[in-house]
Each structure stands twice: as structure tokens, then as C-alpha cells.
């Protein structure tokens, strides 16, 4: 923001004035001059991004006055969205300049929504230019049967020994209707998966409707369905509790699903372990999936 105020952004016009670029034209749209206002508001990619986030908002006549007007904004959430929209438009522009990654306005808007929803004191890790942004999938796959599906996954870091679980509950149409996440204490990925399934069993007990627990851990699913499996001794307590719940609750079953189909729960567990989820993460997830 302070670079915008001081006209210190490395736009083509500023680089051309300092004899660092052969032309002041915009590389994204071939416009005659790429100044800060053009780059952040008037360029077609920037204009389309602003339209997706704020359909009624037009480009400001003066960028400096517009930035100062943010200080008078009463709605802090709206102010954060505008700031992160500027930031993500600038990053998308740089990815095109340096990596030739063609920007997509709807992806830029999604990233801005996601960044604005996360706590200020715990920013997300900076993504690599070569890796896509960690965007939650649109929805879990529709179930094969008219039952509630509860997707679960665990996330474990061998370096920090930190772990978390993620639970995403979908209705019979495959739409996300509820969820749960939290950090846990364990010593292996298998133990994290076992705790995730145990948390799902508790969620299923809270709602007596028929439920199918979906996990991408085939060994864990086979063991719970009576197949022989070699579980670490640390998992025996969780396995015993899960087996007892499944035995007493006839409306709960466990089924295997692919990792691709379990992306929602994986995203929730991983972000809970890395950043700590926003208190309204379920609402944020539904907003992002609606944009997709």
C-alpha cells in the first residue's frame, strides 16, 4: 500500500522512466502505459477481478485518494477484502510477467476472499510460483446412496510432530452442510487417521440419522470392517473405541474413498494444522465453493 502511495510500484511506466524497461506499455493487455491505476484497476484482468468481488464498484479517479478513503471505512471486513484484492491482482500480474502464468480473474478473486478471511496474526505460508494456490475443492463427490456422508482425514508433520483432523459432512446431494476440525496429539500419520475416524464416529453419534464414514485410509477401513491389518500399538485405544461405536450403532458404517474424493477433509485438516482455521471456516468454505 505504501508503494502505491509513493508511486513506487515496479510498473512498466516507472521502470521505463528509470531506463529499466524498453517500453511503458502493459504486457497483459498491450495498453499504452502501465501505471499503478491501470495495473490495479483498469487492466482487463484487474477490472474483471474487481467486478467479481464488488460488482457495483468502479475504478477510482485517483488511486491515492481511494487508498486514504479505506481508513474511513467502517466495515473492517470489506476493507480487508479490498486490500487483499489489490495484493492478489498485483501478484497475479507478477506471475504473468515472470512465469508466463496467464491470470484468471475468478481465481484471483478466490485467493483474495481466502486471504481476507484468515486471521491477521497468523498469515498463510507463501505459495510457490510453480505450485497452484491451495484452493478448496468445489464440493465433495455426490454419494452413491441416499445417506449422509461424513468425510474425514488426518494431517501429520514428521518434523514438528504436529497433527490435526478434519471432518466434512455432506447431505444426500453431496453439498457441505457441517464440519469439524481440531489439533490432536499423536506420533504418526496412521494414528492421526485413527483419531480422525474416531472424531467422525462421535459426530455421527450426535446425529442418529444413517451415516457412512468415508476415509482414504484403506488399511484403517479394512481393519474396521473385520479384515486383518497391522495397526501400531498406539492406535489400539482409538481402534477399540471406534469398533465399539460401530458395533452399538447400526446406522453407522465405514467405507473407503479415494484421496481425490477426500480433498475437502484433507484441506480442512491440513489448514488446521498449518495455520489454524478461521472461526467461521465453514462459512468461508461455502463462500469459496459458491464462487467456483
Residue 93 is predicted with a pLDDT of 92
pLDDT (tens digit, 9 = 90+) per residue, 158-216? 888 888 888 888 877 777 788 888 888 888 888 888 888 888 887 777 766 777 888 88
- Among 43-52, 93-102, 183-192, 227-236, the range scoring the smallest mean pLDDT is 227-236
Residue 110 is predicted with a pLDDT of 86
Mean of pLDDT values over 9-33: 91
For the entire predicted model, the pTM comes to 0.46
CA dist 160 and 120 (Å) reads 23
3-state secondary structure of 73: coil
Q: Which domains does the chain have, with CATH numbers?
A: 2-117 (no CATH), 148-278 (3.30.420.10)
Identify the residue whose cell numbers are 485517483.
62
More confident residue, 203 or 149: 149
CA dist 188 and 168 (Å) reads 22
Residue 128 is predicted with a pLDDT of 44
Mean pLDDT, rounded, of the chain: 78
Coarse DSSP helix, strand, coil percentages of the chain, rounded to the nearest 5 percent: 45, 10, 40
For the four alpha carbons of 53, 55, 57 and 58, in that order, the dihedral sign comes to positive
DSSP 5-35: HTT-S--HHHHHHTTSSS--S-TTT--S---
| Beta carbons of 182 and 150 less than 8 angstroms apart | no
Q: pLDDT above 90 covers what percent of the chain?
A: 13
Amino acid at each position: 500500500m505504501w508503494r502505491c502511495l509513493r508511486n513506487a510500484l515496479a510498473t512498466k511506466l516507472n521502470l521505463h522512466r528509470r531506463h529499466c524497461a524498453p517500453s511503458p506499455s502493459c504486457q497483459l493487455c498491450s495498453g499504452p502505459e502501465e501505471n499503478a491505476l491501470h495495473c490495479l484497476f483498469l487492466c482487463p484482468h484487474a477490472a474483471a477481478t474487481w467486478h467479481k468481488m464488488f460488482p457495483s464498484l468502479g475504478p477510482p479517479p485517483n488511486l491515492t485518494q481511494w487508498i486514504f478513503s479505506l481508513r474511513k471505512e467502517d466495515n473492517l471486513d470489506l476493507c480487508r477484502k479490498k486490500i487483499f484484492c489489490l495484493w492478489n491482482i498485483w501478484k497475479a500480474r507478477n506471475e504473468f510477467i515472470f512465469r508466463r502464468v496467464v491470470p484468471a480473474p475468478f481465481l484471483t478473486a478466490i485467493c483474495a476472499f481466502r486471504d481476507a478471511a484468515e486471521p491477521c496474526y497468523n498469515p498463510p505460508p507463501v505459495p510457490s510460483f510453480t505450485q497452484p494456490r491451495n484452493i478448496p475443492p468445489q464440493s465433495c463427490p455426490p454419494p452413491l446412496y441416499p445417506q449422509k456422508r461424513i468425510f474425514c482425514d488426518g494431517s501429520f508433520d514428521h518434523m514438528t510432530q504436529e497433527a490435526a483432523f478434519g471432518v466434512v459432512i455432506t447431505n444426500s446431494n453431496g453439498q457441505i452442510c457441517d464440519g469439524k476440525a481440531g489439533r490432536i496429539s499423536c506420533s504418526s500419520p496412521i494414528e492421526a487417521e485413527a483419531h480422525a475416524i474416531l472424531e467422525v464416529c462421535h459426530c455421527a453419534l450426535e446425529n442418529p440419522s444413517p451415516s457412512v464414514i468415508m476415509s482414504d485410509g484403506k488399511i484403517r477401513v479394512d481393519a474396521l470392517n473385520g479384515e486383518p491389518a497391522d495397526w501400531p500399538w498406539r492406535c489400539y485405544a482409538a481402534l477399540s473405541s471406534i469398533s465399539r461405536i460401530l458395533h452399538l450403532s447400526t446406522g453407522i458404517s465405514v467405507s473407503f474413498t479415494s484421496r481425490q474424493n477426500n480433498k475437502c477433509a484433507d484441506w480442512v485438516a491440513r489448514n488446521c494444522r498449518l495455520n489454524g482455521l478461521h472461526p467461521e471456516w465453514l462459512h468461508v468454505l461455502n463462500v469459496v465453493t459458491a464462487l467456483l
